[in-house]
A and B are shown apart, each in its own frame.
Chain A
């Protein structure tokens, strides 16, 4: 029997993970896999795009080279744009007019940046004008890198995660950077008012200017962009603008193929669409009314899809993902999970505001369980909180205990120092205070250290800690 033909449309982070999951399950032996990618080359890690924007060689973030596909018997059609699927005849039509047969198709077309309808933004050909950029691909980064020069000024439209990341890199490259954000709260999808305020202060300390609760109304300039008009009537001259006002699912191929679409391509718990033989996952897919724009849910979907299609765990189901964002923006650690505000009267809120340090920690608790948490500046407790959140585990009676995530490992005085002879720290301290100020005398006084001897270093430390400081007889000149 010949292998089934599996065609994957899109070669982003989702596909990259799906292929790994397939290889781990032997799925590349089961199917003849073809991947259609729009961009040049293999797959890369979009999360590290800021490295490329900052000047890194794009190869540094490439996760799969074209050779990888060859080695695993997977056909990669790079720089190939799919136009539509004929789900009746099971063919895929690419933009160059070619038709290819498939048995199974997986749409992993991802998402695309939102381009706001600003006056003057587009050139006559409908493309962005010179000086205006989106921030989504390696090619975008290379265009921005080519354009910007020291002494330039930039306006970043959007104070979300991507906008702030781009702003930081551009500021580091020596540009004068202003972030224009429509909400009064930075990263308002992830943060509440106080958190946004703390973050804003720290961003400003990093040398980035903020215009909050403002929006860009129009773009001006001749050949190239020269500045923007804001809705408060002010003007910001700018050599470039970077659009980071969010993304939306890419559903053009699905639409052209007649697949059921809402916000995204509608899939069930097996990531299948209503059309037999067609699956979708990642940022282009809509599951239970939700689309996701972060990578973890996409990876969770990839694992389920591989389980289902490789036949190893056909009962595997995707049940939705918990929302979680963790990043470092402009050297500020930020973490946000679950809901931002209490939803019920009975929900409890815990907030710790460290005004002077611009640190903020907030927990939202329902029935003893964490339903939301937000940390800015001090994120050490994130790991513990997140695991409690992920598993719906009960919090300690006083949930604030979790925020003191890092316990000191110092034992009390009842700690046993010498396990061989069961000598406690308390007994040792008493002996030291009683004059046993050397390891040997302490050994004979308490028997500690006369067994395996492994606690001798502890005894030495204890003596140093307890005995009175020696009188300094001479000070070296």
Chain B
């Protein structure tokens, strides 16, 4: 894409797509082509803010802010130990920053407690793919393959809203005679495009996936030759799904047997088929097992590694893929190394020139880290980069309380947000067009975001911020980076020989080739657009089946909280909305979160379109205005999570975690809804007899 400024009015920036770019072919979503306005937003922070004695944030010099942070970190570490320092990163950060955050936490702060918002995003798919394939790359093939597959099944993804440029490949697939199946509790815009929509009960994806495998066996659609040649562990899976009889699956999921059958027959297309999962199936307390069940299905059908076929995950954030590979996750080290693998630890310790024993171990996962903030949990300081945890976390009111209990909260961002409201220091940093850096997209293609303009005066980059703090803590030599390009050179060498090997990638090669797919172990290597054609990444070269069973969500509707509540996104907003709510075109289109509910349910609750409702869960209450639609099941309420404060959908959501990925259960919890009555809205026409 290209950024242009109006010749007459330099503040008027427009963003244009690049029609030759192979991923989006010039198409962008509304968030993309309005993103220029953020660069000149009046809300932009341009001076560091420090909380003064009067409790107010006020502008200070950078050095004052850096000195304050370094002093505080040193004191807190001395008093409470290194693990009392926490770092929170983001899937929106470049690969270089993810790498530096990892190094900063492990080498400078020596804390185990670093995690990032990708935990809320990609962690279940990542855990599932690693177990099944021995490697985790969102898509093991370029997006262009989507257009060629005969059957495409989107499982828990509403990409028509969340990733609109992807729809061109799906439209093309349809034009090529392919069939689209969508699995979603709501009839979303994506589901409308499908030939078959499986509108399942929230939290029952795993039962449905196992049920489809049962049917594949019954219908004799499984590929026994493939199973024996390329996989291991099918026998236990086969026996496990024997009891996933379609009638039980229908009862649990609400998906008619007829539709289950149609879906599995379509997926068994002899030529090609694909299942791509989204957050719907992954953001559950059994998200990893659900991903494994989807992979089991595609392995049994003999699809994984075949042309235009297999399983993939639609990665969300800009650098959702790269962000999860380079060590800002509590259990990882750069290059997708594992912090608990002695060999991997030794490699990184040697690279960083430290004793392997000094390298911290596995820390707490995102929600657990945030939940442990403050004196009770023991984490006294938190540095936040590129994430608005006060809005994006489940049981959000708890997290806000925990943030307020910190001795030191540092937020690096271009804008104030709900998290920085409680910060001791807010550091204004550069935005996307103001610095360079690499990102790895959903295909595993490493791309370069070039610098288009200089940051406004007074603003620094995250790289500068880390280097300055590191220097004050005595690690100036280890953090002597001139900029992202310089950091990239160290970073790519750090990944040499690791599972996600970037060592053969250079900025120039990325520019010349419109991106390079990892793994790319040397500069002569062309990169790897397609994985699994020959072998999987486990030592045996085979993919592994995993026997998984359906289990109910952590919280199911009951007589006190009789409805399901699920969350999702609007096309106009991104994650916590911290930036998109500042863009007039976006905010005008979607100024508030609306509660979507079925008209039958609305009639029972006695609300009409636009009417106000209060939704209660065991964790809190939120008031929404209603939007009525037959697109949603009668037992389910939906709201987007892009807003904070009293409108935060995440006040309601459940912090139940997946035991493997530690993904919170954003997609299912139990709630009760009631109309805002005349009493609470002070409507004079009250029918209350006591009035």
Contact = CB atoms under 8 A, between A and B. Distances in A.
A327 B250 CA distance: 12
Given A382-B256, A393-B634, A409-B197, A452 B242 contact: no
A118 interface: no
A452 B171 contact: no
Contacts of B218: 51
A20 B549 contact: yes
Contacts of B253: 383
B33 interface: yes
A411 interface: yes
B29 interface: yes
Interface in B191-219: 191-192, 194, 197, 201, 218
Chain A interface helix/strand/loop/mixed? mixed
Nearest to A395: B600
Nearest to B194: A409
Nearest to B551: A24
A386 B255 CA distance: 11
B242 A456 contact: no
Contacts of B192: 409-411
Interface stretch (B162-170, B270-278, B414-422, B639-647): B162-170
Contacts of B194: 409
Interface stretch (A61-69, A266-274, A425-433): A61-69
B356 interface: no
Interface string A362-393: 00000000000000000111111011001101
B27 A379 contact: no
Contact of A61 (B26, B240, B242, B600): B242
A419 interface: yes
A17 B32 CA distance: 51
A327 B247 contact: yes
B53 to A, nearest CB: 48
Contacts of B600: 396-397
B635 A391 contact: yes
Contacts of B251: 296, 324, 326, 383, 386-387, 390
Q: Which of B17, B164, B197, B589 neighbours the largest number of chain A CB atoms within 10 Å of its CB?
A: B164
B242 A45 contact: yes
A56 B117 CA distance: 50
Interface string A83-123: 00000000000000000000000000000000000000000
A452 B255 contact: no
Interface string B582-595: 00000001000000
B250 A452 contact: no
Contact of A383 (B171, B256, B603): B256
A462 B171 CA distance: 13
Contacts of A47: 243, 245
Contacts of A411: 192
Contacts of B250: 326, 382-383, 386
A385 to B, nearest CB: 10
Contact of B603 (A51, A61, A397, A410): A397
B243 A333 contact: no
Contacts of B236: 68
24 contacts: A24-B551, A48-B242, A63-B239, A64-B239, A326-B247, A383-B250, A383-B251, A383-B256, A386-B250, A391-B635, A407-B630, A409-B194, A410-B192, A419-B30, A419-B589, A451-B33, A452-B27, A452-B33, A452-B165, A454-B27, A454-B29, A454-B160, A454-B167, A457-B174
Given A383-B254, A454-B168, 10 more contacts: A13-B243, A62-B239, A64-B239, A296-B248, A333-B257, A386-B250, A409-B197, A452-B28, A453-B17, A457-B168
10 shortest A-B CB distances, which residue pairs? A457-B171, A454-B164, A326-B247, A453-B27, A454-B167, A452-B29, A45-B242, A383-B254, A452-B164, A383-B256
Interface of A: 13, 16-17, 20, 24, 45, 47-48, 51, 61-65, 68, 296, 324, 326-327, 333, 379-384, 386-387, 390-391, 393-394, 396-397, 405-407, 409-411, 419-420, 422, 451-454, 456-457
